[in-house]
Chain A
Amino acid sequence: QVQLVQSGAEVKKPGASVKVSCKTSGYTFTDYYIHWVRQAPGQGLEWMGWINPKSGGTYYAQKFQGRVTMTRDTSITTAYMELTSLRSDDTAVYYCARVEGVNNWFDPWGQGTLVTVSS
């Protein structure tokens, strides 16, 4: 079955960077985009951007441009999301999700990675 398994929780200080991984299995990695979505505590879903695993092309939401980088390693069918210059309001659960194309339904999702930014 299709699975997306994310790396474990992180605690970072303000100004630091975090890199979250999303290991995929059960399908052809290069046939689907990987999108990243975050959810602050008690809040809704906020889309961050996508990566095309086949080409490595990316698109980032304007809010995150300059601070986020999405990459992939096709040899291990894993996608990554790195966020720099962390602030306290970046504290959130970060999800990866498989999407057929640049703009489609998110299915399935990874289990989520909690990133806590605190001094």
Chain B
Amino acid sequence: QSALTQPASVSGSPGQSITISCTGTSSDVGSYNLVSWYQQHPGKAPRLMIYEGTKRPSGVSNRFSGSKSGNTASLTISGLQAEDEADYYCCSYAGSSTVVFGGGTKLTVL
């Protein structure tokens, strides 16, 4: 169970789009469509933004979208807004009832 790899930081200006990558292996991201993404603001619990790779829970803006290709999943945020500034974590099922998180990406809205 090795942590999924995410860039430490990304940034963008309001209105722009950014993409955060999440690289795993053929034992986790590459084998299952069970990838989720979480947004975490300081002092708060993580919030589910994307599940099953591409699906949005009710209440999550359609500016957030997910995709997957091979062993890499991605989260795209379009029309960046100031409130999107937060830490983002990917998460993947890794087989045998185990789960692995990514190291996290700090999004800065310039």
Partners in one complex: no
Residues of A participating in the B interface, judged by any CB pair closer than 8 Å: none
